[in-house]
Amino acid sequence: MSSRNVIVFGPTGAVGSITALTAHQAGARVTLAMRNPSKPIPALQNLHIPRVHADLTKPQTIQHAIHQSNAKHAFIYIVPGSTDAMKSALITLKSSGIQSIVLLSSFSIENDIHAVSRTDFVPYRHAQAEISLMNVFGHNGIVVRPAYFASNALQMRNGVLGGEVRLPNPDAVLDWIVPGDVGRVCGCILARGSRERVVSLVGAQLLSLRQVIDAISFVVGRDVKVRRIGVEEAVDDVRAKAGLTEGFARWYVNNMMGVRSDISLAPAYNGAVGNIYRYTGRRPVTFQEWLEENRRLFEIQVL
């Protein structure tokens, strides 16, 4: 059992909540750092885990949360729109007494973090945060890089319910990692530590977008047509459906049609296979299992 005193930022999220639960189950003393401490967390209901107010964009609240909890180890995520690649938050965490960090990053980083181009939209943002982590915490900063989340399939639910899903490349192959598996790995590392500075994670099985749509349509009992569309049309669709910026949407579409259209060809893929089991002692959850558990989410159209 762990004797660590840890704090989890963002515990209302699908990854953060399971990170907190796993660390708690491992025996760590856990504190939840939240912008709204009264917000319900279904995965943690009936557990008496202390909560503190904290916002990773507001250093004073970070300092207060660490002093109140006396935590020595923290799980954090990259705040969207961070103007300094999380540097001020990390400096505050360290000066407040945090000894090690588990940072949720991204498998999309394929090269040296210092060599990622600004035009590589998603990897660049994560790489900059990893650089900040390395500069502030050195080898006491651990990054967890999950690949393509199963929950991203929810972006296609309106199309499924409408009978047609429009995609730039229906044959793109992805790994569909389940958020809970990512949280379990993060929680194990938070509670026990890791000798690895970078931990890459991939899902249980490789499936094309077309195969995933077939699985969803079967579960919800609808016939769904898959239509291939061009780049510009796809960018507009992604922006409309997910509310993304043009840069993010274009990066996503180009990668679904280009070098990242088969995730098994990524340099880190083979080394990542088996990491979920290695850290948690549990086999990874398959997309089909995740889909069955979350089928109700695909039966509700989002406006």
Domains within the chain, CATH numbers bracketed: 5-147+178-202+266-282 (3.40.50.720)
pTM: 0.96
Residue 149, strand partner residues: 177
DSSP at 141: E
What is the predicted pLDDT for the residue at 166? 93
Evaluated on CA atoms 6, 280, 134, 262, the torsion sign reads negative
Radius of gyration of the chain from its Cα atoms, rounded to whole angstroms: 19
**Cα-Cα-Cα-Cα dihedral of 58, 59, 61, 67, to 10°?**
170
User: What separation in angstroms does the CA of 248 have from each of 10, 63, 243, 254?
Assistant: 22, 32, 10, 10
What is the predicted pLDDT for the residue at 126? 97
Among 34, 30, 98, 97, CA closest to 61: 34
3-state class (DSSP) for residue 31: strand
Task: Give the Cα separation of 175 and 202 in Å (integer).
Answer: 6
Task: Give the Cα separation of 45 and 131 in Å (integer).
Answer: 36
Task: Give the Cα separation of 76 and 153 in Å (integer).
Answer: 24
Contact 201, 39 (CB under 8 A): no
Q: How many CB atoms lie within 10 A of CB 198?
A: 16
Q: How many CB atoms lie within 10 A of CB 195?
A: 6
Among 174, 12, 187, CA closest to 108: 174
Task: Give the Cα separation of 30 and 199 in Å (integer).
Answer: 22
Among 293, 300, 298, CA closest to 43: 293
Q: How many CB atoms lie within 10 A of CB 273?
A: 18
What is the predicted pLDDT for the residue at 243? 78
Blockwise average pLDDT, block size 10, the chain, 303 residues: 94 99 98 98 96 98 98 98 96 99 97 93 95 98 98 92 93 97 99 98 98 95 94 90 82 80 95 98 98 92 63
